[in-house]
Every structure is written in C-alpha cells, then in structure tokens.
C-alpha cells in the first residue's frame, strides 16, 4: 500500500472498560487470578482500569507504548486492532502474534459493517479511509469468524457481535459453549426443618450444584473448603444430599432434571458447528452431566442432530412455535422474553441457540423474535421492561441463518418506535410480575384500547388511542386523565 493512514488516531480514550474486556469478565473468561496482556492497548485505559480492579496486566501499542515488551499472558486482548490495519498480510501477522502470546484465550474484536452506515470516507484497499485519515475495515460477523479461523487454525467462539474468543484448549472452549445454553430453574420451596435451617449456609454450595447439574457432585466438583465443611457437619455428601431431598419436593427435582437434559441437548447441537469433541475431550463435569442425563454420548449426539435438523424444517418450526406454552404469537413470528426461553419446546431452544452461535450474546437484549417465515432470529432490546408498562424498542440485532448475516437496527432516535402490549404473553407462568401485567391488560381491554390493533403497534398510535379514550397509564395502572386524576379507569 502506498497511501499513509493515521493508525495512531484510532486510539480512543475511555473511562470505563472496553466492551470486549468487560464482556470477557462478565462471561467468566477473565478473572483476577489470570494474567492479561492488551495487544494494541492504545493509551492504556483498559490497563489502568484492570489494574485498579486487582488484575495483573501488561500491554503494548506501536504508537503509545512501543518500548513495552511483548509478554505471554493467560488472556490476550486484541481489541479493535485488526480493523485499522490496511495491509492484509500485516493484519493476519498481527493476529497471529497476539495468538502466540495467549496461554489460554485470545479475545478478538473488530468493527462490523453496520458501523459504517453513517461514516464518511472513501474506499481504500478492502476498507475505507475516514475524514480523519484513519483506515477502517468493516467485517460481516461470519466473515470475521472465518478470517480468524483461517489465520489461526482454530475455530473461534462468538462472544457477541464483533467479539470472539479463541481458546487454546478445546475442552475449555466446549465447557464455555455449554454455559451458553440458557438455564431455567423452577422456584424451590423448602419445608421447615430444624437441621436444614441450622446448616443452610453450609449446604448452599451443595444445593446450588444439585440445582444446576441435577445430580450429586463427584469428588472434586465442589470447592474443597465447602466439601470439608459439609463432611464435618454431615459425615458425607450423600447424607447432606438426602437432607436436601427430604425438605424439597420431588416435582422440583423432576423439573430440574428435565431442564438439564434439554440444556445438554442444546449444547451438543451447538457443538455441531465446528468439530464436535469426542467424549474423552469434554471437561469432566460436562461429561458427567451428559452421561447422567442422556446416557451414551453417541446416542445423545444423534438426538441433538435430529433437533438441529428439525430447525431447518419450516413446518416443524411453525408447529413448535404454535404449540409453545409461552410467547406472543404473530402470523410471522413467536416473541419470547429472555427469562422464558427455558419454557420453549426443544426445537425452538436449538433454533434460538443457532442464532447465538453466529452472533454471540447480544448485550442488553431481553426479547427474542423467532421467525416462522424464514430462518431468522432477532434479539430485541426493550429497556426497563419490568418497570415500563409499554416499553419501546431501542435496537434489534437480526441473525439470518440462511445468509449467515448479522444486522443491527437502531430505533433509539425514532419518534415513533414499536412498543409492547400484553407483556404477560412474553414471560413464563412463574414470572413474579405476570399477574401485574395481566391486570393492566384486562383494564386496557375493558377500556377499548385494543379495538384497533393496527393503530397501536407504535408509540404515536398508542398515545393517540389513549388520548381519544381519555386515559393514561401510571405504573401498571390505567387511570382517567387529569380531570379525574387518581381515579382508576373502569
């Protein structure tokens, strides 16, 4: 390349952790017991913030820390570096150098094509040069994943749009992938029992394990200190487990076993994207869960593959959506709150998981739209869903499974964004506020607000409908407007 681009101008100054680093902490990939190296650290904001949080950190940057040594670390972050390099060979070599420093995980992030929509610049190489003279390469999500795999010879795991984890240990990668299956657990009620109440705190780690894995822990699966305390009080893990079973309902444990079985099927289906591990390559706890709840691994893989195959059949997806006990039904899709994903039929749980395999976790998204017209999963963000009786749509990330595309739409500046009604339809039967949502819906139906559904799907139409009816919503109560403020609408 003959043109000079100002790479040093791309370094940003930030007060908080960068998105990739914050996500790695949230996902449990990065913790204070692990060393961190920031490859292309810019002005060092992540280094300062991580150090303040007690992390062992170091970093290098060609413009701002050129004299620093390139040191191996457990976790290496190369955050929004590859997208500012205009030479393709150098871009690949930079990624490979960062990978060579990573003992456990490389965190890779780059800018995606939707970020170029409002950016002014001119085409250059395989990207564009901005008005400030910086180069930017914008990737499709699938393109970025393929480029990482081609450059490193390791399949990355999508953490979020534009962010990937590359694991040195395949078993660790699959252990992480298993945590991506959404977990749901029914509420547990414990009968009064003097011994249980006395030792409730001691039993908490065991109860957590039983509730998560739906089986008794094997040697070494509990923290050593917790296991010692339990044995001191109850002589054995089995005795403590028996006490927990005595004070809880059998139905609860039946539900937990069913949920864990489905979670393992979702994980095994997700593992089909890439090289599915042999049973001997799985982490011990994950392998034990699969064997306990699904039996022979080869049989479990066949079951998971059938579910995965079913997600590609429009008729099966449609029937599964229409038979779902949760979610709002529309002619083209099923809408489900994130908290209710565990209530979906297995086929739809795998369908949704396919979207996350490609896009990763969409931060702040709390609603999932499962299309029944085309293979497409959308992750919608409705801020303050719990508090706002009619939350408006802020953003949407849409994953098209046929085209392998990930797209983003911003509604935050829209004067007339879509909004939600009948919130109880989106959540599960045990949602703590479901009855509150139902009462509001009944009041709104009685007031005639839903008589013309084609008018109320967006903010302006809804406001006009309420104004015409002489009512407003306060909290989750429908009230008459100013003239009769404080009087509940009948």
Confidence of residue 408 (pLDDT cuts 50, 70, 90): very high
Which of 185-189, 416-420, 453-457 is least confident? 185-189
Domain-located, residue 418: no
Q: Are 376 and 293 part of one and the same domain?
A: no
Q: Is the pLDDT of residue 32 over 90?
A: yes
Q: For residue range 140-157, list pLDDT tens digits in order.
A: 999 999 999 999 999 999
Lowest-confidence segment of 76-90, 130-144, 151-165, 196-210 by average pLDDT: 130-144
Within this chain, do residues 242 and 269 fall inside the same structural domain, yes or no? no
**Domain interval for residue 103:** 7-168
Q: Are residues 51 and 159 in the same domain?
A: yes
Record the pTM: 0.89
Whether 143 and 79 share a structural domain: yes
Within a domain: residue 79? Answer: yes
**189 located within any domain:** no
Do 14 and 139 reside in the same domain of the chain?
Answer: yes
Mean pLDDT of 182-190: 86
pLDDT, mean of residues 462-484:
89
When divided into structural domains, the chain yields a total of: 5
Q: Looking at the structure, tell me whether residues 263 and 230 fall in a common domain.
A: no
Q: Can you tell me the mean pLDDT for 90-95?
A: 97
Query: Measuring CA to CA, which residue among 300, 346, 345 is closest to residue 326?
Result: 345
Q: Are residues 91 and 143 in the same domain?
A: yes
Place of tokens 């996500």: 23
pLDDT at 14: 55
126 shares its domain with 238: no
109 and 14 both lie in a single domain: yes
Domain membership of residue 173 (yes or no) is no
Confidence of residue 322 (pLDDT cuts 50, 70, 90): very high
């Amino acid at each position: 390349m003959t043109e000079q681009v100002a790479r040093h101008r791309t370094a940003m100054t930030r007060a908080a952790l960068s998105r990739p680093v914050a996500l790695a902490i949230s996902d449990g990939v990065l913790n204070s017991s692990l060393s961190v190296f920031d490859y292309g650290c810019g002005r060092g904001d992540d280094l300062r913030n991580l150090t303040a949080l007690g992390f062992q950190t170091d970093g290098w940057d060609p413009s701002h820390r050129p004299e620093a040594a390139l040191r191996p670390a457990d976790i290496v972050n190369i955050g929004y570096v590859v997208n500012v390099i205009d030479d393709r060979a150098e871009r690949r070599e930079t990624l490979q150098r960062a990978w060579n420093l990573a003992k456990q995980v490389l965190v890779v992030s780059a800018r995606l094509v939707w970020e170029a929509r409002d950016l002014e610049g001119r085409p250059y190489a395989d990207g564009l040069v901005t008005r400030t003279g910086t180069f930017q390469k914008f990737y499709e999500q699938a393109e970025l994943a393929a480029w990482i795999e081609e450059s490193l010879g390791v399949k990355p795991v999508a953490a979020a749009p534009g962010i990937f984890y590359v694991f040195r240990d395949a078993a660790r990668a699959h252990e992480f992938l298993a945590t991506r299956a959404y977990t749901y657990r029914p509420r547990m009620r414990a009968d009064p029992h003097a011994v249980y109440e006395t030792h409730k705190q001691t039993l908490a780690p065991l109860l957590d394990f039983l509730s998560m894995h739906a089986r008794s822990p094997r040697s070494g699966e509990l923290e050593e200190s917790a296991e010692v305390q339990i044995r001191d009080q109850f002589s054995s893990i089995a005795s403590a487990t028996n006490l927990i079973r005595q004070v809880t309902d059998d139905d609860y444990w039946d539900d937990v076993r069913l949920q864990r079985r489905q979670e393992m099927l979702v994980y095994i289906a997700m593992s089909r994207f890439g090289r599915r591990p042999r049973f001997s390559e799985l982490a011990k706890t994950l392998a034990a869960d699969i064997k306990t709840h699904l039996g022979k691994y080869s049989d479990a893989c066949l079951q998971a593959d059938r579910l995965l195959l079913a997600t590609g059949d429009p008729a099966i997806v449609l029937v599964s959506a229409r038979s779902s006990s949760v979610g709002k039904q529309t002619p083209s899709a099923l809408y489900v709150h994130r908290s209710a994903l565990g209530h979906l039929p297995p086929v739809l749980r795998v369908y949704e998981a396919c979207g996350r395999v490609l896009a990763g976790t969409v931060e702040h998204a709390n609603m999932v739209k499962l299309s029944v017209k085309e293979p497409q999963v959308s992750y919608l963000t409705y801020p303050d869903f719990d508090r706002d009786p009619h939350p408006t749509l802020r953003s949407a990330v849409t994953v098209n499974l046929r085209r392998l595309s990930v797209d983003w739409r911003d509604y935050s500046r829209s004067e007339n964004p879509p909004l939600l009604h009948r919130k109880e339809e989106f959540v599960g039967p045990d949602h703590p506020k479901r009855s509150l949502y139902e009462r509001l819906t009944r009041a709104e139906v009685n007031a005639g607000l839903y008589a013309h559904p084609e008018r109320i799907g967006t903010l302006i139409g809804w406001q006009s409908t309420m104004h015409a009816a002489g009512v407003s919503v306060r909290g989750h109560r429908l009230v008459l407007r100013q003239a009769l403020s404080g009087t509940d609408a009948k």
